């Protein structure tokens, strides 16, 4: 393996390394046949993606109706922890020997994401969402730089996942003007995605609906049923209306379905990302007779002693004049930083959507795991200083960051 010279452009070196390794990928393209079950679902208007990084597992259930796969920091980490890339990591490290170790770890994480994505492309022939390092979530320039690099590696197949943060909104606006496909991840409400589709115009937006259901049920606010489904359908309607006014448009993802019933309840949403185990269960339990549900008005039931307005659950599916005026403002006075973006949001009255938390509070959110403890934040929610969607967004980012740390730690141990 050729080693780097201190003056070598790292991006060019990594690009060459990956293109060389791409030629050596031994994955055989899968021969997929059609499945009437998935064909019926696809005919409702939904594109079907697998939500996995596991090549073997996806290959067992893949049919010609599926067109893409989506990975994330957690799914990639699961593959890396199997040890299948240990030798590969060593090769990449020797190539990057001139870099300080922290920079080397960041580059190797990028290389792993790209290479695993290329393997998925070679095997399945579909598009693949590849994710940025979580260290870039508040770095506008870094997000743009690494997204461009992903796009250069596989312009026809890679979709770059950018997390929904103030910096992510700004970076995605630039990337889409350069026609870089962006999957704007970690969205949890119609208003999240209204701002994204209006201001940033990503290729895709998400509602991670299972976490919304869990927030309500785990915190004893209600049975949790149909919370995420209602938010997803509402966001779908908002995004479709906005996309009619755009030359590029944005598509809605019902992200990471957790139950086979959601396959039926969300039929017709632009994209369904389905974990392998959910696909297997749906194939076994559902009739396979699907119709579009994108005009359904799902009902959400909270416990009798819960004040819906105090919890603010309605903010998951409502878009108000505040969001519309905010978009008008930032579209005419484009923020140059996350700080400017947040300040303009607060001036528009959206103090709950982009809350200001102290380091200690952010640590507490991370400590709660993927589902924040509502009691801890109840008073701030009532004062419109936070909300369900903003809390779960921060918790989700923290969860991905933990998976990224585990991946980075393995890399660091291997190259030390």
How confident is the model over 269-317, as pLDDT tens digits? 999 999 999 999 999 999 999 999 999 999 999 999 999 889 999 999 9
Q: Does the residue 18 lie in any domain? A: no
Q: Which of the four pLDDT bands, split at 50, 70 and 90, describes residue 24? A: very high
Any domain includes 63: no
**DSSP conformation letters of 152-218:** HH-TTTEEEEEESSHHHHHHHHHHHHTT--EEEE---SHHHHHHIIIII--SEEEE-HHHHHHHHHH
- Whole-angstrom Cα distance, residue 317 to residue 269? 15
pLDDT class for 155, splitting at 50, 70, 90? Answer: very high
Residue 267 lies in a domain: no
On the CB side of 160, CA atoms within 13 Å amount to 31
pLDDT, position 309: 87
Q: Given the residues 39, 42, 161, 336, select the one marked as catalytic.
A: 161
Alpha-carbon radius of gyration of the chain: 21
In contact, 106 and 404? CB cutoff 8 Å: no
Residue 154 placed within a domain = yes
Residue 2 confidence (pLDDT) above 50: no
Is residue 180 a part of any domain in this protein? yes
Residue 29 lies in a domain: no
Q: What is the pLDDT of residue 43?
A: 98
Rounded Cα distance, 299 and 230, in Å: 7
pLDDT band at 1 (very low <50, low <70, confident <90, very high): very low
Residue percentage of the chain with pLDDT more than 70: 98
Query: Is residue 6 over pLDDT 80?
Result: no
Q: State whether the Cα torsion 269-275-276-280 is positive or negative.
A: negative
Active site residue 161: yes
Residue found by looking up tokens 């067109």 in the block = 67
Any idea what the Cα angle at residue 195 is, between residues 190 and 199, rounded to 5°? 150
Q: 313: closest CA among 382, 259, 241, 235?
A: 382
Report the alpha-carbon angle 72-78-80, nearest 5. Answer: 100
Compute φ and ψ for 183, nearest 5 degrees: -100, 105
Domain that holds residue 355: 71-254+307-415
174-217 residue pLDDT tens = 999 999 999 999 999 999 999 999 999 999 999 999 999 999 99
Beta carbons of 194 and 175 less than 8 angstroms apart: no
CATH number of the domain at 84, please: 3.20.20.70
Mean pLDDT, range 160-178, rounded to an integer: 98
Residue 45 Rama label (left phi>0; alpha psi -120 to 50; beta):
left
Question: For the chain, what is the domain count?
Answer: 1
Mind listing the pLDDT tens digit for each residue in 68-90?
Answer: 999 999 999 999 999 999 999 99
Is residue 291 assigned to a domain?
no
Using alpha carbons, select from 143, 139, 230, 134 the residue that is nearest to residue 182.
143
CA distance 143 to 55: 27
What integer is the mean pLDDT of 137-150? 98
- Grade residue 5 by pLDDT with cuts at 50, 70 and 90: very low
Closest CA to 203 of 231, 188, 184, 178: 184
Mean pLDDT, residues 152-156 taken together: 98
pLDDT tens digit sequence for 344-395: 999 999 999 999 999 999 999 999 999 999 999 999 999 999 999 999 999 9
| The pLDDT value given to residue 8 | 59
- What is the distance between the alpha carbons of residues 174 and 186, in angstroms, rounded to a whole number? 19
DSSP labels, 266-330: TTTSSEEEE-HHHHHHHHHHS-S-----TT------B-TT--HHHHTGGGGT---HHHHHHHHHH
Write down the pTM of the prediction: 0.96
254's enclosing H/E stretch is strand 251-254
User: Is there a domain that residue 38 lies in?
Assistant: no
pLDDT for residue 3 is more than 50: no
* pLDDT computed for residue 333 by the predictor: 96
């Amino acid at each position: 393996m050729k080693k780097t010279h201190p003056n070598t452009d790292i991006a060019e070196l990594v690009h060459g390394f990956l293109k060389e390794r791409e030629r050596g990928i031994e994955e055989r393209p899968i021969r997929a046949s059609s499945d009437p079950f998935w064909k019926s679902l696809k005919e409702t208007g939904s594109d079907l993606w697998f939500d996995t990084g596991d090549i073997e597992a996806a290959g067992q259930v893949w049919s010609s109706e599926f067109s893409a796969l989506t990975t994330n920091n957690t799914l990639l980490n699961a593959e890396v922890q199997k040890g299948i890339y240990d030798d590969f990591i060593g090769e990449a490290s020797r190539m990057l020997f001139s870099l300080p170790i922290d920079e080397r770890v960041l580059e190797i994480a990028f290389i792993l994401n790209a290479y695993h994505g290329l393997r998925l492309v070679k095997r399945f022939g579909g598009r693949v969402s590849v994710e940025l390092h979580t260290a870039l979530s508040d770095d506008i320039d870094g997000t743009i730089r690494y997204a461009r690099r992903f796009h250069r590696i596989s312009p026809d197949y890679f979709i770059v996942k950018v997390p929904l943060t103030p910096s992510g909104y700004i970076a995605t606006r630039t990337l889409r003007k350069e026609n870089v496909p962006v999957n704007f991840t970690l969205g949890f409400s119609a208003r999240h995605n209204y701002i994204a589709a209006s201001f940033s115009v990503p290729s895709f937006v998400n509602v991670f609906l299972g976490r919304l259901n869990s927030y309500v049920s785990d915190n004893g606010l209600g049975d949790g049923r149909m919370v995420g489904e209602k938010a997803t359908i509402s966001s779908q309607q908002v995004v479709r209306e906005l996309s009619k006014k755009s030359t590029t448009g944005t598509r809605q993802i019902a992200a990471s379905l957790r139950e086979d019933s959601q396959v039926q309840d969300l039929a017709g949403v632009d994209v369904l990302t389905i974990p392998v185990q959910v696909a297997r269960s749906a194939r076994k339990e559902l009739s396979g007779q699907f119709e579009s549900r994108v005009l359904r008005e799902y009902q959400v039931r909270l416990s009798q002693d819960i004040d819906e307005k105090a919890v603010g659950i309605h903010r998951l599916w409502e878009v108000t004049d505040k969001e519309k005026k905010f978009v008008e403002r930032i579209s005419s006075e484009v923020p140059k930083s996350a700080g400017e973006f947040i300040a303009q949001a607060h001036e528009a009255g959206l103090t709950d959507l982009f809350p200001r938390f102290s380091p200690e509070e952010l640590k507490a959110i991370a400590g709660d795991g993927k589902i924040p403890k509502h009691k801890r934040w109840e008073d701030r929610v009532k004062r419109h200083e936070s909300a369900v969607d903003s809390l779960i967004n921060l918790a989700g980012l923290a969860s991905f960051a933990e998976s990224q740390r585990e991946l980075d730690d393995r890399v660091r141990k291997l190259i030390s």
